[in-house]
Amino acid sequence: MHTDSMLTSVVYLIVFPGLLFLTVYGLFLQWVDRKLCAVMQNRMGPPWYQPTADLIKLLAKETIIPDACDTLMFKTLPYFAIAAVTSALMLIPLWRTESLFMSFQGNMVVVVYLLTIPTVTFFLAGWSSTSPYSTVGSMRVLTQLFAYEVPLMLSLIGPAILAGSWNLSEISAFFSGQPALIAAQFIGFLVAIISLQGKLERMPFDIPHAKNEIVGGQFTEYSGRLLAYFNLAVDMELVVGAALLSAVFLGGAWGLHGVQGLILFLIKTLAVTFLLALLKVLMARIRIEQMVNFCWKILVPMAMAQILFDIFLKSKLG
C-alpha cells in the first residue's frame, strides 16, 4: 500500500499534473497568448507548434558559459526555477476540491513564496553572469519584485479573510458555495491580474529584459539548454499564476471532479490568459520608477480597500 502511494505521488509529480503536464500546458498557453496578441493587433500570429519548435531549437543549440561567471550557480539556477513552479502547482486545487498533495492552513502563503523563488533565480542569473546588461536587468528584476509582491499578497488576503481560511481548498470551496460573493472581489482580482502581469515580466512590466535597452536583460548571457529552461519556467509560471487566481477569486473547481473539473480549470486559466494578453496589447512599456510608484501608490491602496471591504462584509455575514 505504501509502495502504491509512493508510485502515485511520483506519477503526480512527473506526469500529471506535474512536470510533463505543466510543460505541455505552459507551451500551449504561450501560443494562446501570442495568438491572442496577434489577433488584437491585426496580425496572423504563430502556428500552434511554434513554442514547442522554439524550445526544441534552443535545446539543440550550444550552451555558452561566460568565463567570469559563477559556473555552478549559472548552470543550476534554471532547474531551481522549474522545481519551485512545479512544487507550487501541487498545492493548488485544480480540477478537484482538494489539492493533490498537502492541504493545510497557510498553503496559500507557501504558494506565493514558491512563486517568488523563480524571480530570485532570475536576479541571481543576471548577477552571476557578470555582464553589465545582465546586471542592470537583474537589478530591475529585484526592484520590480519589491513593487508587485506587496499588492499581490494583499489582493489574496481579502478572499482569505472573507472565507475565514488561509487554505486554498477551503477558499475555493467557500466561493464555489457562495458564487454571488465572487463579484465582490472585483477590485482584488484586478489588482492580482496586474500584479501577476508584473511577476511574469510582461508588457507593460517587461522592464528587466527590455530588448531595445539592455539586449536580453538578466538572460543576456544565457543560451542553449539553460535559456530554454528559463523560458519554460516562465511559461509554467503563467499556468500556476492563472491556477492560483482561479482558486482564490473564481471558486476553483466549483465542487466538480475528474473531466468536468479539468475542463473548468482549462476554461478559467484560458480566461486569465486572455485578460493578461489584453493588458499586454493595450499598454506600452513603462519605466522602472513608474512601475514602483504605480504598485505602491495605486495597487496597494486598492488592495487595502478590498481588504477593508471584506472585513466589513465578513462582519455582516457573521
Closest CA to 121 of 138, 135, 108, 134: 138
**pLDDT computed for residue 52 by the predictor:** 96
Who has greater pLDDT, 33 or 212? 33
- Rounded to whole angstroms, the Cα distance separating 236 from 245 reads 14
State the chain's mean pLDDT as an integer: 90
151 Cβ neighbours under 8 A, 6+ residues apart: 191, 194, 195, 295, 299, 300, 302, 303
pLDDT at 104 over 90: no
Taking residues 225-244, report their average pLDDT: 96
Instruction: Tally Cβ neighbours within 10 Å of residue 279.
Output: 17
**pLDDT computed for residue 1 by the predictor:** 45
pLDDT tens by residue, 137-192 = 888 899 999 899 999 999 999 999 999 999 999 999 999 888 889 999 999 999 99
Angle, CA of 168, 173 and 174, to the nearest 5°: 100
Taking residues 198-223, report their average pLDDT: 81
3-state secondary structure at position 61? coil
Q: Which one-letter DSSP state was computed for residue 120?
A: H
- Phi, psi (degrees; rounded to nearest 5) at 237: -65, -30
**pLDDT computed for residue 20 by the predictor:** 93
Window from 96-100, 164-168, 249-253, 300-304 with minimum mean pLDDT:
96-100
Grid coordinates in use for 156? Answer: 489574496
Decide if 290 contacts 182 (C-beta within 8 A): no
pLDDT at 124 over 90: yes
Taking residues 259-270, report their average pLDDT: 91
User: pLDDT-based confidence at 2, cuts 50/70/90?
Assistant: low
Residues in the chain: 318
- Rounded to whole angstroms, the Cα distance separating 201 from 137 reads 11
Query: Taking every pair of C-alpha atoms in the chain, what is the biggest distance, in angstroms?
Result: 63
Closest CA to 75 of 124, 117, 114, 110: 124
Instruction: Tally Cβ neighbours within 10 Å of residue 260.
Output: 13
Taking residues 41-66, report their average pLDDT: 93
- Rounded to whole angstroms, the Cα distance separating 80 from 40 reads 35
